[in-house]
Amino acid sequence: MRVRYAETDQMGVVYYANYLVWFEVARTDLLRHSGWSYREMEADGFALPVVEAHCEYRQSARYDDDLEVGATVALLSPVRVRFDYAVVRLSDSAKLACGHTVHASLDPAGRPRRLPDRVRAALTVSP
């Protein structure tokens, strides 16, 4: 992804909250490539709300930087998933930020619900 002007402050530095938005984009893409989109998840009666979020900022991303935002599955239990993230600037391979989010698997009434076996199989934990 390329940093857009709207994501920066007057100095051209990315506003900190945008990293969490980028984490969501990477997570959504990972789920889709695993064979389970958010649309399908909700149609199947599941929600994966964020119950914890963390971001460590190492270097500033700036306007027009070309970035790679990656997501991996770090923990998978019957009712929780932890995704780890890394934001890397492509021009110099600098790791700008890293973080994680933890999600609970809930049914439409907000009660814990086991993730389907097919989803757990698709979301393999990265080494």
If DSSP codes are grouped into helix, strand and coil, which group holds residue 122? helix
Which residues have a catalytic role annotated?
9
Instruction: Report the pLDDT value the prediction gives residue 124, as an integer from 0 to 100.
Output: 79
Instruction: Report the pLDDT value the prediction gives residue 41, as an integer from 0 to 100.
Output: 86
Tokens 């599941």, located at residue: 46
Q: What is the pLDDT of residues 92-115, one digit of tens each?
A: 999 999 999 999 999 999 999 998
Q: What is the pLDDT of residues 53-87, one digit of tens each?
A: 999 999 999 999 999 999 999 999 999 999 999 99
Lowest pLDDT segment from 12-26, 37-51, 54-68, 74-88: 37-51
DSSP calls for 10-44: TTSBBPTTHHHHHHHHHHHHHHHHHT--HHHHHHT
* Domain boundaries of the chain, sorted by first residue: 5-122
Task: Give the Cβ contact number of residue 72 at 10 Å.
Answer: 18
From residue 76, alpha-carbon distances to 43, 97, 117, 122, 124 in Å are 21, 23, 11, 11, 8
Average pLDDT value for the chain: 94
CATH superfamily of 5-122: Hotdog Thioesterase (3.10.129.10)
Q: Which of 120, 99, 95, 111 is CA-nearest to residue 31?
A: 120
Instruction: Report the pLDDT value the prediction gives residue 37, as an integer from 0 to 100.
Output: 85
Q: 16 pLDDT exceeds 80?
A: yes
